[in-house]
């Protein structure tokens, strides 16, 4: 009867692998044991099939415990959610004693276990129960061959199963070898060379330099310089910013370009970068630069790959990739300077762009057309909202940043012109703009104009300690000791950790 059971074992495995597209995880011909995997309804199913006569329920329990332990050791192979385990035994007879209760006696585990015992009397019934779990047709096997034919068929079935397994493994490997990382290296070179050029000409961390070289600057974009959405992708703010982004581009870029090919990769990178840039224009009023939006688009491309190849995705990069994305989101929320608009926009844009270009050798005209419609519509909507937000807000934080930088560079006349024009627009940043102009007036020797600005500042923002301090100095210079002492005391109270404020307050109070 061994031939009978062996034939049924390999015939059943053949049916699952060749006909129903189960994936082979482990194939042990000598021990008559096969491990398979199948995704069904977004859940991972692991199937262990064993030809063995189990005589007692205790023996069966030990077998199942061994399966449980083996799964724990190889948990990384089955990432991607809760695992459902199907253990199938094929033998001539069922165990002598009651065995159905053994699953209840297993130690608690995150996996869900199902047990099937295919004896001669229950083969068809148990096979139907198993296939029903996957919504598969449980039609009868073809007419039973003779004993000699069964014995002769076993090597053929084994060969077909092994061949199918080899073919799928090669297909999986080919998914990561479609292209070569050519454009990735070109992008790395362009970013690095442009950074070196910027540093040679000026300071890459200076706001004025960033604006001059093409960073995302909303007032300039409003005036028609939309090309900044693209140029900002090649500008980095300091060496650390460059190194972090280039490291991410190297690892993500080479992976995505190998999967999608050079042409698709290039489209995904730039479409994601543009999407992230427009999202930043809509959400972030600060001067911004960097390849982060496009790089997050590469995250989106890998997520799109994971949607189509879930098992392979979680077996190779899945949880690590999700962890890195989650870590970046948390970092972006906790650090105010991070351009979350560009990051999240790039992530979404990369996913949409990947749906637009699709994976190699795949064509889905409806999905690709829908992705194009969504991409264009989202870009248009974000652009319109960004323009409306800019004019509703009037002054922008970018103008505050630029005027601060101009003061640091000693361009005081430019500060006066910039802040005066910005305040004519109206908005929510009059206090910092007036403060920056007051500093420029002081440096230009126009103390009376500076005092007028500072008086307005402390009315608009009474908690700005620096404004009270500067006003105290101006009042002291003109001999108004009472007002000078009042503002110096207020500055020290608002910022008690500032020794300079304390010293001036003590000096004026004692005079």
pLDDT(110) > 60:
no
Q: What secondary structure letter does DSSP report for 427?
A: B
This prediction's pTM: 0.68
* pLDDT-based confidence at residue 421 (cuts at 50, 70, 90): confident
Burial class (CB in 10 A: 0-12, 13-18, 19+), 173: exposed
Tally of CA atoms within 13 A in the half-sphere of 331 that contains its CB: 9
pLDDT(336) > 60:
no
What pLDDT does 379 receive? 95
Mean per-residue pLDDT, 91-98:
82
What pLDDT does 246 receive? 92
What pLDDT does 511 receive? 63
Structure tokens at 23: 């994936």
Torsion angle defined by CA atoms of residues 434, 437, 441 and 446, in that order, rounded to the nearest 10 degrees: -40
- Rounded CA gap, 79 and 86, in Å? 17
- Rounded CA gap, 261 and 267, in Å? 10
What pLDDT does 264 receive? 95
- Rounded CA gap, 147 and 335, in Å? 73
215 neighbors 232 (Cβ within 8 angstroms): yes
pLDDT(334) > 80:
no
What pLDDT does 318 receive? 60
């Amino acid at each position: 009867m061994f031939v009978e059971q062996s034939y049924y074992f390999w015939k059943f495995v053949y049916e699952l692998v060749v006909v129903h597209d189960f994936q082979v995880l482990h194939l042990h011909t000598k021990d008559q044991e096969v491990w398979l995997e199948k995704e069904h309804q977004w859940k991972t199913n692991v199937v262990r099939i064993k030809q063995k006569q189990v005589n007692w329920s205790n023996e069966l329990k030990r077998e199942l415990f061994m399966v449980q332990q083996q799964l724990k050791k190889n948990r990384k192979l089955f990432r991607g959610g809760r695992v459902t385990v199907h253990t199938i035994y094929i033998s001539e007879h069922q165990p002598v004693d009651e065995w159905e209760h053994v699953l209840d006696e297993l130690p608690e585990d995150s996996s869900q276990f199902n047990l099937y015992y295919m004896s001669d009397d229950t083969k068809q019934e148990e096979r139907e129960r198993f296939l029903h779990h996957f919504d598969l047709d449980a039609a009868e096997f073809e007419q039973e061959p003779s004993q000699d034919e069964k014995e002769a068929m076993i090597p053929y079935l084994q060969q077909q199963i092994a061949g199918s397994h080899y073919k799928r493994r090669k297909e999986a490997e080919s998914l990561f070898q479609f292209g070569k990382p050519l454009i990735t290296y070109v992008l790395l070179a362009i970013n690095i060379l442009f950074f070196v050029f910027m540093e040679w000409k000026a300071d890459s961390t200076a706001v004025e330099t960033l604006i001059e070289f093409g960073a995302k600057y909303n007032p300039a974009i409003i005036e028609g310089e939309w090309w900044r959405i693209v140029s900002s992708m090649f500008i980095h703010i300091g060496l650390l910013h460059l190194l972090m982004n280039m490291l991410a581009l190297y690892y993500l870029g080479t992976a995505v370009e190998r999967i999608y090919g050079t042409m698709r990769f290039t489209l995904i990178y730039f479409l994601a970068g543009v999407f992230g840039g427009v999202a930043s224009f809509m959400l972030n009023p600060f001067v911004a630069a960097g390849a982060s939006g496009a790089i997050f688009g590469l995250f989106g491309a890998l997520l799109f790959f994971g949607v189509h190849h879930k098992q392979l995705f979680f077996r190779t990069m899945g949880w690590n990739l999700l962890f890195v994305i989650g870590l970046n989101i948390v970092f972006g929320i906790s650090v105010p300077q991070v351009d979350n608009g560009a990051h999240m926009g790039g992530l979404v844009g990369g996913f949409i762009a990947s749906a637009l270009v699709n994976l190699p050798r795949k064509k889905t005209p409806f999905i690709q057309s829908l992705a194009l419609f969504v991409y264009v519509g989202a870009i248009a909507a974000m652009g319109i909202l960004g323009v409306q937000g800019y004019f509703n807000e009037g002054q922008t934080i970018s103008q505050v940043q630029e005027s601060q930088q101009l003061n640091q560079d000693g361009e005081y006349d430019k500060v006066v012109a910039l802040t005066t024009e910005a305040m004519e627009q109206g908005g929510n940043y009059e206090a910092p703009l007036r403060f920056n102009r007051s500093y420029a007036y002081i440096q230009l020797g126009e103390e009376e104009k500076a005092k007028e600005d500072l008086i307005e500042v402390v009315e608009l923002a009474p908690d700005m300690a620096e404004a009270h301090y500067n006003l105290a100095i101006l009042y002291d210079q003109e001999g108004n000791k009472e007002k000078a002492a009042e503002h110096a005391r207020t500055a020290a109270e608002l910022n008690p950790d500032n020794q300079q404020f304390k010293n001036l307050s003590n000096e004026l109070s004692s005079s």
